[in-house]
Amino acid sequence: MFKRIGILTGGGDAPGLNAVIRAAVRTAIGEFGMKCTGIEDSFEGILGDTQTRKLTLKTVSGILPRGGTILGTRNKGSFCKIVDGEMVIPEMPIDEALVNLKKHKIEALVVIGGEGTLAIAEQFHLRNFPVVGVPKTIDNDLSATELTFGFRTAIDIATEALDRLHTTAASHDRVMVMEVMGRNSGWIALEAGLAGSADIILIPEIPFSMDAVVKKVYERERIGSLFTNIVVAEGAMEVGRSEIYLDEGELRLGGVGEYVRRRVEEKTGKESRCVVLGHLQRGGSPNAFDRMLGTNFGACAVRALVSGERGKMVALEAGHVETVPLADAIENVKSVPVEGQLVRTARDIGISFAAENEDDF
């Protein structure tokens, strides 16, 4: 049994981070009599002068519904590098971190984060430091788990936004374009688009054609629907083009919504507006599902550490939390299967993905 474990959150924040922290602390202290140290601002907290704080039952009291993370996070550590427009696997100063962990008497780590954070966690494992990961991201793009926490809350927020856009689009007979997050996968766009009754969904997995977008707008006009709601994932690409970045140097996706809006207006003459949902999808209170999933993940992660599991990540598999090797978790990004059931259903109910060959489906 460990005397003290460390807990940290890394990458972009997601609703439910505090639920995981709270459950891990309550399980570690209450069930196993261990002590907990919170490492602040992702791995930065165990580098240099170090920034840590004591986590007790008292300090985690009341945080379950709170958005963000009480420990702070970073999605680009001081040790990360961008080389030739690509984020290279962060070169974590692992020796320094191991010395500092020892100094703080931290014997094992619960690392809560997405692909990049878990890749660093794996480096600790490869140096024989006990670590268990917890999969976080609103993008739901980790292949080794059915769901990441944060995703369902993001879908709720995007769906509500679409409902609101619907009424204003219909009142003004406009084309409304809503850009959502998701990096290079289209899960948020697809699921929110289905739940919020989008007419066109543009996702990175299906390159779109502007002609197909316009065709759908006109098709709707013919049946008397003078407005169109489009959801576009930030990583969506027009056929023959690549993703659009806000700032190439920073590798921040964004701008495709405005691009689609402008082109629709040019091609149809219809008034069109674009809304970028952005960080509203990440901020604020987690929904009930993410509180539950985060809590289950947090407790399971501590139990896994105590029972001797190493280099693992907790993962949801058919509604049950299990553990999988961290290495599997960081290997592949989970994309929307273009031949999958949800895409099929969307097409069956008349939603267009504006593929070049959309008519063939």
Does 191 bind ligand F6P (CB under 6 A)? Our answer is no
Does 12 bind ligand F6P (CB under 6 A)? Our answer is yes
Comparing CB distances to ligand F6P, the nearer of 26 and 282 is 282
Could you tell me the smallest distance in angstroms from the CB atom of residue 311 to ligand F6P?
Answer: 23
Comparing CB distances to ligand F6P, the nearer of 242 and 307 is 242
How far apart CA 255 and CA 272 sit, in angstroms, is 15
Query: Do residues 17 and 64 lie in contact, with contact meaning Cβ atoms separated by under 8 Å?
Result: no
Among 350, 351, 344, 323, CA closest to 145 = 323
Query: Do residues 200 and 354 lie in contact, with contact meaning Cβ atoms separated by under 8 Å?
Result: yes
Does 182 bind ligand F6P (CB under 6 A)? Our answer is yes
Pattern 81-100, ligand F6P, x by CB under 6 A: --------------------
Comparing CB distances to ligand F6P, the nearer of 139 and 156 is 139
Which tokens sit at 91? Answer: 């070169």
Amino acid residing at 41:
D
Could you tell me the smallest distance in angstroms from the CB atom of residue 244 to ligand F6P?
Answer: 12
Out of 18, 37, 52, 137, the residue judged to bind ligand F6P by CB under 6 A: 137
Does 316 bind ligand F6P (CB under 6 A)? Our answer is no
Which tokens sit at 217? Answer: 């707008």
How far apart CA 283 and CA 286 sit, in angstroms, is 9
- Find the part of the chain contacting ligand F6P (CB under 6 A) among 42-50, 97-105, 135-143, 302-310: 135-143
Could you tell me the smallest distance in angstroms from the CB atom of residue 263 to ligand F6P?
Answer: 22
Asked if 247 is an active-site residue, the reply is no
Does 184 bind ligand F6P (CB under 6 A)? Our answer is no
Could you tell me the smallest distance in angstroms from the CB atom of residue 218 to ligand F6P?
Answer: 32
Pattern 48-87, ligand F6P, x by CB under 6 A: ---------------------------x------------
Out of 26, 220, 282, 303, the residue judged to bind ligand F6P by CB under 6 A: 282
How far apart CA 296 and CA 299 sit, in angstroms, is 5
Helices then strands (H, E): number in the chain?
Answer: 10, 15
Catalytic residue among 13, 41, 139, 199: 139
Judged by CB under 6 A, the chain residues 228 through 247 that form the site for ligand F6P are 234
Comparing CB distances to ligand F6P, the nearer of 214 and 236 is 236
How far apart CA 251 and CA 326 sit, in angstroms, is 25
Amino acid residing at 97:
A
Which is it for the CA torsion 233, 238, 240, 242, positive or negative?
A: negative
- Find the part of the chain contacting ligand F6P (CB under 6 A) among 39-47, 84-92, 176-184, 304-312: 176-184
Could you tell me the smallest distance in angstroms from the CB atom of residue 171 to ligand F6P?
Answer: 30
Question: Could you tell me which residues come within 8 angstroms of residue 173 by beta carbon, excluding any fewer than 6 positions away?
Answer: 226, 227, 270, 271
How far apart CA 246 and CA 64 sit, in angstroms, is 34
Which tokens sit at 8? Answer: 């940290």
Which is it for the CA torsion 284, 79, 112, 340, positive or negative?
A: positive
Query: Do residues 311 and 328 lie in contact, with contact meaning Cβ atoms separated by under 8 Å?
Result: no
Q: Can you give the binding site for ligand F6P, defined by CB under 6 A?
A: 12, 75, 114, 137-139, 181-183, 234, 252-253, 282
Residues annotated as catalytic are 139
